[in-house]
Amino acid sequence: MNDLVTDVIVKRLQIRTDRVSDDADLVADLGADSLALAEICAEVENHTGMTFSMEQLQDVNTVGDVRKLMPVLSKQDRPSNPPPGHLETGKI
């Protein structure tokens, strides 16, 4: 997923890969405007099948912020019940 984030940012902002780092601010450092931010989020959503809430997007300022959303969204998409045959350790 992290390579996807880099690829989408590089493509949408037409910048070199070496400019994309976790602490790079999408607007101040990489030159994204509001349209580019929306396009980046939409493309990541399309590739992953994930959906970003407006609340989650309000906290996105850096490349690292986008990367941090990935594990959170992946956990939310998982079923709450373990699959049949799944054994939890420490439980009898």
Q: Rounded to an integer, what distance in angstroms lies between the CA atom of residue 25 and that of residue 86?
A: 42
Q: Is 90 exceeded by the pLDDT of residue 27? A: yes
Which domains are seen in the chain, by residue range?
A: 2-70 (1.10.1200.10)
Round to whole Å and give the CA distance between 86 and 41. 34
If one compares 74 and 5, the residue with the highest pLDDT of the two is 5
pLDDT of residue 79: 40
What DSSP line would sit under 8-35, residue for residue? Answer: HHHHHHT--GGG--TT-BTTTTT---HH
Positive or negative, the CA dihedral 27, 32, 34, 39 is negative
Is 33 part of the annotated catalytic residue set? yes
| Paired strand residues for 25 | 62
Residues 47-65 have pLDDT tens digits of: 888 888 889 888 899 999 9
**pLDDT band with cut points at 50, 70 and 90 for residue 35:** very high
Point out the catalytic residue in the list 3, 18, 29, 33: 33
- What is the pTM for the complete model shown? 0.72
